[in-house]
């Protein structure tokens, strides 16, 4: 029988001084290796630790459900990173346009080619806005919002 209330010293100790060994046949090891790849674990020990954590934290769900949640979270994270990169690029473009407008307005307000450059760049930034909306909607769908 597994005891739920462990010795407090064991609960607080982060030192890895307990070893668990498992022997597997080839078929079992192939399955283990597939799980390790799904978990993107660096080694067998970290794979076992992740499996134990998944099993302990699964709230009645299967480990496969937990793995799918991890994949979804990684996907959402990647989408969010893409969104942040795009927003950063747009912000940089807007700053360059604002700098150009201020410079042009104070130095040479009648310079039509420069005003044309500014209008063209504002239009390019404007074209990126629907892409941002699409990325945001994609992320919201993945999150379920």
Reference 135, options 72, 86, 69, 66; nearest CA is: 86
CA dihedral 33, 35, 41, 45 (to 10 degrees): -70
pTM for the full predicted model: 0.53
pLDDT at residue 24, as a whole number: 93
Q: Does residue 35 contact residue 50 with C-beta atoms inside 8 Å? A: no
Judge residue 79's burial from the number of C-beta atoms within 10 Å of its C-beta, 0-12 exposed, 13-18 middle, 19 or more buried.
middle
Cα–Cα distance, 134 to 126 (Å, whole number) = 14
| Residue 9 clears pLDDT 80, i.e. is over it | no
Which three-class secondary structure state does DSSP give residue 42? coil
Region 46-62: mean pLDDT is 77
Is 60 or 65 the better-scoring residue by pLDDT? 65
Work out the mean pLDDT of the chain and round it to a whole number: 82
């Amino acid at each position: 029988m597994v005891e739920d209330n462990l010795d407090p010293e064991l609960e607080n100790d982060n030192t890895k001084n307990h070893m668990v060994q498992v022997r597997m046949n080839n078929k079992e090891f192939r399955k283990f290796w597939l799980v390790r790849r799904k978990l993107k674990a660096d080694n067998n020990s970290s794979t076992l630790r992740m499996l134990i954590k998944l099993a302990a934290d699964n709230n009645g769900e299967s480990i496969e459900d937990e793995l799918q949640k991890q994949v979804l979270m990684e996907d959402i994270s990647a989408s969010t990173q893409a969104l942040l990169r795009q927003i950063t690029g747009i912000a940089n473009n807007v700053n360059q346009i604002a700098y150009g407008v201020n410079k042009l307005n104070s130095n040479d307000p009648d310079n039509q080619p420069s005003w044309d450059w500014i209008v063209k760049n504002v239009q390019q930034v404007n074209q990126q806005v629907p892409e941002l909306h699409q990325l945001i909607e994609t992320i919201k769908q993945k999150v379920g919002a």
